[in-house]
Amino acid sequence: MSRILLSARSRDRGELLTTRMVTYDSGGNQPEKLPYSFVLRYLVSTDHKTIGLQYLWLALLSVFVGMAMSLVMRIHLAWPWMHITFLSTLDSSPERYATLPVLHGSLMVFLVLTAAPQLGFGNYFLPLQIGAREMAFPTLNLFSFWATVLSLFGITSAFLIAPQAGITLWIVSVSVFCGATLSSALNFAVTTIDLRAKGMTLPRLPLTVWAWFLNAILGMLIFSVLLAACLCLLSDRWFSTHFFSAVDFLASQPANVAPDVLPALWQRLFWFFAQAEVYVAMLPCFGIVSHLIATFSRKPVWRERLVVLALCAVGLVGFCVWGQHMFSSGLNPFSPLVFSVLAASLGLPATILLASWFATLWTARFQLNTSLLFALGFVSLFLSGGISGLFLARHDFASTSVTEDFVTGHFHLVMGVAATFAILAALFFWFPKLFGRRLNEPLGKLHFWVTFAGVYGVFMPMHWVGLVAHLAKHPGANLSTIAAWIGPTRSFITAGIVITVCAQGVFLFNFLWSLFRGDRVEEYNPWRATTLEWSVASPPPWDDFGAGEPVVYRGAYEFGVPGVAQDFIPQHVAPDRVVRAN
């Protein structure tokens, strides 16, 4: 009985909405009445588009704070005597310096690399691309967002208070972030499984949706482990338990307990999360880049099924390589070999993805706009960073041949900067849909080239420093020559950071200026793309597709189909409505 009532009510609402749709069509893109007042809309809206945009704003704020931290660190390394106004008023203990990389890393990894491509763009575009009106559990989505805000607040405050209390606050904030990510991963997975429009079968899903979906599953599995590890840590701090036994605890034990039997429990739990977290940051970027390259090349994705399988393989193998970081911590002697093979076997899906990107670009007459430039920048950085990753996958190399700088250079190139390039490519691509305006192209290209040169100028020399600094550990090494080489290289890296950070000012100006003064985009589909989000107004009306429901008739990458007038067929156009070439 209740179901029949429900259906009748939804039909009534449908008719109301239909009337409103007519109003849109006659009178521009603005809905006549929004469901909430302006303030309420941003505080308690459960609309997936509002929440997605809020995540993007959060990521923008965090990326600039995180970047400032990296600048301070490099300045301190190159010119330690320099006085920095605000920071020098805090104490100058080694702990204070150690909080800098912690804040930089946690902001960048959690609030930028995890939040922007998945939670920001994903929340906004996943329901639109699969033809759903909303996420599966909108209220849960609102909860995830505010929990993320809370954890950002906690992580940042942890930097400002006394180090010991700061660590506790940091762990609590990370636990809150785990809860937020777990609930939004649940939302993403269920939305993709159950809320797809009619005709949106799995092979027809855009690669972006595949990537968000697989990423949600991976996140679901690993953030629970981090939450468990955080719980044990908090128990150690609050209840004086000894899950992660410190050396001083063992020292207080009988003499037959040697410190070398530390069971490395924290390392296991942490790396189980952290190694897979790299792929949590990268998976949506793979999806976005494949999507953009196909759209701008006006060609179908090369071997689309294989690419989907490669994305699955990245998720699966990424989940199994946690031992990769523990070659020197007393694992079973055979396990480094297993983890090495697994880590190196990630090269296979990576190669498939690269082959697909190059094959899609091959002989394509692409439009080299800023969005595609950033996508190509991603490919370049992923390739360069990935090659040094192959060296690090050798279990004997990381511990014997390089220092930390090599590893830092590797993961910044492949995870941090490459992912940021994919986020920027997505932003330039979807900006017209998000705000109904375009980002400025010449400023965007200037920003791209300076950033591209800048990040190579920073992270390539960091690899070299890692290689050369290790020479100093050999007996009879000429220390003065090594120091004479490393000193200027460090200064060069710092200068590179300063230039790169300044280039982000160009981006910030472009972003804010285009938000209010950018060229207006009147048409629904300025890039002539195929997916469903381009079939509604820019920005989309609050009820997305209105009273009706989109129906999907074909795969997401039907470009250059022979015998068709245009070089693309959108997913929602029925076969009998496709305009044939004469």
Partner 1 sequence: MPSATATPDVELIIEDSRGGGGGGRPPDGGDDGDDGDYSKGPRREPPSSRRFSTGIAIGMVSILMFFMALASAFLLLHHSSRVWVAVHLPAILWANTVVLIGSSFVLERARLRLSNGDVPGFRKMWLVTTFLGLLFVAGQLVAWRQLVAEGVYIASNQASSFFYIFTGAHGVHLLGGVVALLFVLLRNFERSQISMSLAAEITSYYWHFMDGLWIFLFALLYLGK
Among 452, 545, 557, 559, contact with partner 1 (rule: CB under 8 A): 545
Binding residue (CB under 8 A) for partner 1 from 132, 281, 311, 361: 132
Q: Measured between alpha carbons, how far is 318 from 322 in angstroms, rounded to an integer?
A: 8
Q: How far is the CB of 21 from partner 1 (least distance, A)?
A: 4
Query: 24 to 83, contacts with partner 1 by CB under 8 A?
Result: 25
Q: Could you tell me which stretch among 70-78, 192-200, 359-367, 459-467 binds partner 1 (CB under 8 A)?
A: 192-200
Q: For residue 198, report the phi and psi dihedrals to the nearest 5 degrees.
A: -65, 135
* Closest separation in Å from C-beta 566 to partner 1: 9
Q: Select 289 or 573, whichever has its Cβ closest to partner 1.
A: 573
The DSSP result for 469-486, as a single string, is HHHTTSTT--HHHHHHHH
* Structure tokens that stand for 71 in this block: 């600048």
Give the span between the Cα atoms of 323 and 271, in whole angstroms: 7
Site for partner 1 in 264-303 (CB under 8 A): 265, 268-269, 272
Instruction: Choose the binding region for partner 1 from 58-66, 118-126, 382-390, 541-549 (rule: CB under 8 A).
Output: 541-549
CA 174 to CA 178: how far, in whole Å?
Answer: 6
Q: 207-239 and 265-297 are packed helices; what angle lies between their axes, rounded to 10 degrees? A: 160
Instruction: Name the nearest CA neighbour of 390 among 423, 432, 343, 440.
Output: 343
Mask for 239-258, x = binds partner 1 (CB under 8 A): xxxxx-x----x--x--xx-
Give the nearest distance from C-beta 482 to partner 1 in angstroms.
Answer: 40
The one segment of 113-121, 477-485, 506-514, 546-554 that binds partner 1 by CB under 8 A? 546-554
| Residue 320 touches partner 1, criterion: CB under 8 A | no
Q: Which of residues 397-436 bind partner 1 (CB under 8 A)?
A: none
Tokens 């307990």, residue?
257
From 347, 346, 324, 344, select the one nearest 336 (Cα to Cα): 324
Binding of residue 143 to partner 1 (CB under 8 A): no
The one segment of 59-67, 95-103, 152-160, 567-575 that binds partner 1 by CB under 8 A: 567-575
**Closest separation in Å from C-beta 7 to partner 1:** 5
Q: Is 517 in the site for partner 1 (CB under 8 A)?
A: no
Q: Which helix (H) or strand (E) holds 254?
A: none
- CA dist 150 → 143, 153, 567 (Å): 11, 5, 47
Closer residue to partner 1 in complex, CB, 186/278: 186
CB 392 within 8 A of CB 414: no
Among 231, 467, 495, 498, binds partner 1 (CB under 8 A): 231
Return the number of the residue (243 or 366) whose C-beta is nearest partner 1. 243
Phi, psi (5° rounding) for residue 145? Answer: -65, -50
Residue 221 interacts with partner 1 (CB under 8 A): yes or no: yes
Continuous H helices in 84-162: 85-89, 94-106, 121-130, 138-160
Token pair for 324:
């990769």
